[in-house]
């Protein structure tokens, strides 16, 4: 038999205790892509995210990007409720404490009469700060104070991210949608093209020709799918009409998975779909995706028509994935053994190996006994 049993057990997609361990052991320590620099270009522009259970505020403070815990240190009001926006500064909506660029509450209404906080005391009430770094326009945040640099964590793909950053424009379409599935089911779905015939018989199947090869780099991987001649011709024509500058070296369909939950699909060097699979609880996640065209060309009716076609196509194919992912989540609840992975699903095996190694490393390093000894034993046996 060529096929092998998957390394993850159904409980890994269902169990709240394992979900919590995964958040603490993996998402706390990994760099998370949060957005493009242009989304935070002006002072006061911000976005909010939930990463490993932490409410995170990423904000442009007088030209510098900062990541803070999105919670006031007075009586813990959330500082920003919106997912993105722009304000004149960082001021708590409850009693008006105003924070400076280092997250220190320098402006406290009634301080002298009611609080008597000197500068040192205010510094002690600074917002918790998280690590923030960037590769080109890709902005990343990490919750853990210590860990590998972003460049090391993304290696050897920093150069590719920089090329994508340089070669593609701002998102023309941006979507955040809840999926009724564990984030790993979402990622596993994009790690193979085996499902394309059955799930995307018209949408994605009209783009790719069924050929597929994968290269692995540490925890990351790249898949290359051949594109159908008609799809390539369509992109050639559209590229010429709109004046898009195809990014060299990215022919056909290239799919980059940056562990744990960032996936970038690159079509004909002219379109990227940047996707994050953001866990929101056991058995659910938010898919956030941005579509960007290669640089070049002008705005106009022709471009708007292409953008709206691509927006609709992605809505359709991700809708198809979303529906099947929910079915997998439901089915997994009654599964009593690991899934079976074919040779064309090898990329999932590498994903599982990375996950299990990280979970075990963290638990050993922290000295915390596993919350589910039976599962731990099972996982160790499978590595
Ligand atoms: S809770 Fe923020 S100022 Fe009071
Ligand atoms: Fe799919």
CATH for 80: 2.102.10.10
CATH code, 220: 3.90.380.10
**What tokens does 378 get?**
């099972």
| Whether 40 and 13 share a structural domain | no
Give the Å distance between the CA of 229 and the centre of ligand 2: 20
Q: Is residue 213 part of a domain?
A: yes
Give the Å distance between the CA of 176 and the centre of ligand 2: 17
| Whether 25 and 127 share a structural domain | no
Q: Is 72 in the pocket of ligand 1 (CB under 6 A)?
A: yes
Give the Å distance between the CA of 36 and the centre of ligand 1: 30
Q: Is residue 151 part of a domain?
A: no
| Whether 165 and 241 share a structural domain | yes
Q: Is residue 221 part of a domain?
A: yes
Total domains in the chain come to 2
Give the Å distance between the CA of 299 and the centre of ligand 2: 30
DSSP 152-189: HHHTTSHHHHHHHHHHB-S-SEEEEEEESS-HHHHHHH
- CA dist 141 and 132 (Å) reads 5
The protein residue with its alpha carbon nearest to ligand 1, atom 1, reads 75
Of 112, 146, 180, which residue sits at a domain end?
Answer: 146
| Whether 174 and 254 share a structural domain | yes
> Of the ligands numbered here, which is closest to the C-alpha atom of 198?
2
Q: Is 95 in the pocket of ligand 1 (CB under 6 A)?
A: yes
Give the Å distance between the CA of 196 and the centre of ligand 2: 6
Which atom in ligand 1 lies closest to the alpha carbon of residue 93?
A: 2
Domain membership of residue 37 as a residue range? 32-146
| Whether 60 and 160 share a structural domain | no
Q: Is residue 310 part of a domain?
A: yes
- CA dist 163 and 166 (Å) reads 5
pLDDT digits (tens, 9 = 90+) for 130-154: 999 999 999 999 999 999 999 999 9
| Whether 183 and 237 share a structural domain | yes
Give ipTM to 2 decimals: 0.98
Query: Residue-wise pLDDT tens for the chain (383 aa)?
Result: 899 999 999 999 999 999 999 999 999 999 999 999 999 999 999 999 999 999 999 999 999 999 999 999 999 999 999 999 999 999 999 999 999 999 999 999 999 999 999 999 999 999 999 999 999 999 999 999 999 999 999 999 999 999 999 999 999 999 999 999 999 999 999 999 999 999 999 989 889 998 999 999 999 999 999 999 999 999 999 999 999 999 999 999 999 999 999 999 999 999 999 999 999 999 999 999 999 999 998 889 999 999 999 999 999 999 999 999 999 999 999 999 999 999 999 999 999 999 989 877 765 333 333 333 333 333 332 22
Q: Is residue 142 part of a domain?
A: yes
Q: In this structure, what is the dihedral angle of CA atoms 252, 36, 165, 239, given to the nearest 10 degrees? A: 50
The protein residue with its alpha carbon nearest to ligand 1, atom 4, reads 95
| Whether 104 and 203 share a structural domain | no
Q: Is 175 in the pocket of ligand 1 (CB under 6 A)?
A: no
């Amino acid at each position: 038999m060529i096929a092998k049993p998957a390394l993850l057990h159904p409980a890994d997609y269902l169990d709240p205790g394992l979900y919590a361990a995964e958040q603490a052991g993996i998402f706390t320590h990994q760099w998370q892509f949060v957005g493009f620099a242009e989304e935070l270009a002006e002072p006061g522009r911000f976005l909010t995210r939930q990463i490993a259970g932490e409410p995170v505020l990423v904000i442009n403070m007088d030209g510098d990007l900062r990541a803070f815990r999105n919670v006031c240190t007075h009586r813990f009001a959330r500082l920003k409720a919106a997912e993105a926006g722009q304000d004149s500064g960082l001021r708590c909506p409850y009693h008006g404490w105003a924070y400076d660029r280092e997250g220190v509450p320098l402006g406290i209404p009634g301080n002298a009469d009611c609080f008597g906080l000197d500068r040192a005391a205010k510094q002690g009430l600074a917002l918790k700060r998280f690590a923030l770094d960037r590769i080109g326009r890709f902005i990343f945040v990490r919750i853990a104070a210590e860990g590998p640099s972003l460049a090391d964590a993304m290696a050897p793909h920093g150069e590719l991210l920089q090329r994508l950053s340089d070669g593609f424009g701002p998102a023309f379409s941006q979507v955040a949608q809840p999926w009724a599935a564990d984030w790993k089911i979402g990622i596993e779905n994009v790690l193979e093209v085996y499902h394309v015939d059955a799930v995307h018989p018209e949408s994605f199947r009209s783009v790719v020709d069924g050929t597929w090869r994968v290269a692995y780099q540490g925890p990351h991987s790249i898949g290359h799918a051949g594109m159908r001649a008609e799809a390539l011709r369509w992109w050639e024509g559209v590229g010429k009409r709109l004046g898009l500058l195809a990014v060299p070296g990215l022919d056909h369909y290239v799919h980059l998975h940056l562990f744990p939950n960032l996936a970038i699909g690159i079509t004909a060097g002219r379109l990227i779909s940047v996707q994050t699979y953001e866990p929101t609880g056991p058995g659910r996640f938010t898919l956030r995706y941005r579509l960007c065209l290669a640089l070049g060309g002008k705005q106009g009716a022709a471009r708007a028509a292409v953008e709206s076609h691509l927006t609709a196509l992605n809505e359709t194919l991700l809708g198809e994935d979303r529906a099947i992912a929910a079915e997998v989540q439901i089915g997994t609840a009654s599964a009593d053994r690991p899934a079976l992975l074919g040779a064309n699903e090898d990329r999932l095996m590498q994903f599982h190996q990375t996950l299990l190694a990280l979970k075990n490393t963290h638990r050993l390093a922290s000295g915390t006994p596993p919350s589910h000894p039976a599962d731990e034993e099972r996982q160790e046996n499978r590595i």
